[in-house]
């Protein structure tokens, strides 16, 4: 297994592979750390870069995505970069219109309402050509990173993408999307299959372009109970991992570790640990020790500091990190937040989090 995944593009050699080693379950000298939404609105330089541009225009500019991905690494000694993009580029590539409404979030002017609306969707096989801008951003960023840390690619999981496509935006109940699961199970499976068929080549394409790890975001897992999750989310989560791995092998590409993050999906921890992913991400509602007991020793865990803990004093952040690291243990663990950074967070407190992880995890190993 090629740890640095330097690929055929002649990328610079990887200098810090701590994150990848932890993801594969190998021993590390310290606990690697990165933050979900680390390229984001909490950084003044992000707001400056993004100010003049519409959100999705930014996503379509490889130069802008590269710059935004690198910004947090100039400030903090993070152990991984994650490409700046959005999970909703996949519904866009399938032919749905999505706009980003300031202060409100994503909006689909014409969401899916009836089964026949599925006919409006493009063939999932065309998605990779529609999303070539993401691949360009990954290749450019991988070159600009100069081997400092690995680059993570990502996508939204089928159920989470389905919720946006039917709800037409965010929702506190997901009642429209769940209505489909109960009233239109056949059409729901058809949509989830279309999304899976789009996601697999998209994720493989990210690796071909230079991504060294992949994260699948099942951000809306918590709206499903165990039964709906095992029927409409889990089979597709499993299928994505299985197919991506098979296709990487067919294409002669080195394997990359895959992370599944199912927010509020604690009821399915055991199933997720056996879904074909090397890493299971945890939100902050899960106790680390219990999670470790439940998933066993075969996967790496990632997470799970409450993002709001970054509102605490730097001393308190240090204490919380220490407790978290003690609970997870030194190996098979990647430190992160239990969800993404919020726009009003102080960058200095993000730095305090990263430094505390590095400092305390080295002490733990002595």
pLDDT digits (tens, 9 = 90+) for 110-150: 999 999 999 999 999 999 999 999 999 999 999 999 999 99
Instruction: Tell me the average pLDDT across 91-109.
Output: 95
pLDDT tens digits, one per residue of 223-267: 999 999 999 999 999 999 999 999 999 999 999 999 999 999 999
236 part of the active site: no
pLDDT of 8 > 60? The answer is no
Which of 242, 236, 85 has the alpha carbon at shortest distance from 162? 236
Token representation of residue 127 = 């998605």
Predicted confidence band of residue 83 (pLDDT cuts 50, 70, 90) = very high
**Catalytically annotated residue among 86, 117, 264, 327:** 86
Quote the percentage of the chain above a pLDDT of 90. 95
The CATH classification of domain 27-364, taken from the options 3.90.650.10, 3.40.50.1820, 3.20.20.210, 3.40.50.720:
3.20.20.210
Instruction: Tell me the average pLDDT across 200-228.
Output: 98
Quote the percentage of the chain above a pLDDT of 70. 98
Predicted confidence band of residue 193 (pLDDT cuts 50, 70, 90) = very high
283 part of the active site: no
Predicted confidence band of residue 168 (pLDDT cuts 50, 70, 90) = very high
pLDDT at 1: 38
86 part of the active site: yes
pLDDT at 103: 84
pLDDT of 17 > 50? The answer is yes
Instruction: Tell me the average pLDDT across 333-359.
Output: 98
**Catalytically annotated residue among 17, 21, 42, 50:** 50
41 part of the active site: yes
Token representation of residue 93 = 């590539």
Structural contact between residues 283 and 339, judged by C-beta atoms closer than 8 angstroms: yes
Q: What is the mean pLDDT of the chain?
A: 96
pLDDT of 51 > 80? The answer is no
pLDDT of 213 > 70? The answer is yes
**Catalytically annotated residue among 17, 21, 30, 37:** 37
Structural contact between residues 211 and 255, judged by C-beta atoms closer than 8 angstroms: no
**Catalytically annotated residue among 30, 164, 202, 333:** 164
């Amino acid at each position: 297994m090629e740890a640095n995944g330097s690929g055929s593009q002649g990328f610079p050699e990887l200098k810090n592979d701590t994150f990848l080693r932890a993801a594969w379950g190998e021993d590390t000298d310290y606990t690697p750390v990165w933050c979900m939404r680390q390229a984001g609105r909490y950084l003044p330089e992000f707001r400056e870069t993004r100010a003049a541009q519409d959100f999705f225009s930014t996503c379509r500019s490889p130069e802008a995505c590269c710059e935004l991905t690198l910004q947090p690494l100039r400030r903090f000694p993070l152990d991984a970069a994650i490409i700046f993009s959005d999970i909703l580029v996949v519904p866009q590539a399938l032919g749905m219109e999505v706009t980003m409404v300031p202060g409100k979030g994503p909006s689909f002017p014409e969401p899916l309402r009836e089964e026949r609306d599925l006919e409006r969707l493009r063939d999932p096989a065309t998605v990779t050509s529609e999303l070539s801008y993401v691949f360009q951003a990954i290749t450019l960023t991988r070159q600009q990173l100069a081997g400092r840390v690995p680059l993570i690619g990502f996508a939204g999981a089928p159920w989470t993408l389905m919720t946006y496509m039917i709800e037409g935006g965010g929702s506190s109940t997901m009642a429209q999307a769940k209505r489909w699961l109960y009233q239109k199970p056949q059409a729901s499976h058809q949509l989830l299959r279309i999304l899976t068929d789009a996601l697999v080549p998209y994720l493989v394409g990210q690796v071909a372009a230079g991504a060294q790890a992949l994260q699948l975001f099942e951000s809306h897992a918590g709206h499903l109970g165990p039964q709906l999750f095992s029927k409409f989310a889990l089979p597709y989560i499993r299928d994505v991992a299985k197919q991506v791995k098979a296709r990487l092998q067919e294409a002669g590409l080195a394997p990359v570790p895959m992370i599944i993050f199912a927010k509020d999906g604690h009821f399915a921890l055991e199933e997720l640990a056996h879904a074909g992913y090397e890493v299971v991400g945890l939100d902050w509602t899960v106790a680390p020790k219990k999670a470790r007991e439940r998933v066993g020793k075969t996967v790496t865990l990632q997470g799970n500091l409450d993002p709001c803990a970054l509102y605490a004093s730097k001393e308190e952040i240090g204490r919380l990190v220490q407790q978290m690291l003690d609970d997870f243990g030194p190996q098979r663990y990647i430190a992160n937040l239990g969800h993404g950074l919020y726009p009003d967070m102080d960058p200095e407190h993000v730095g305090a989090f990263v430094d505390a992880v590095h400092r305390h995890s080295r002490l733990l190993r002595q």
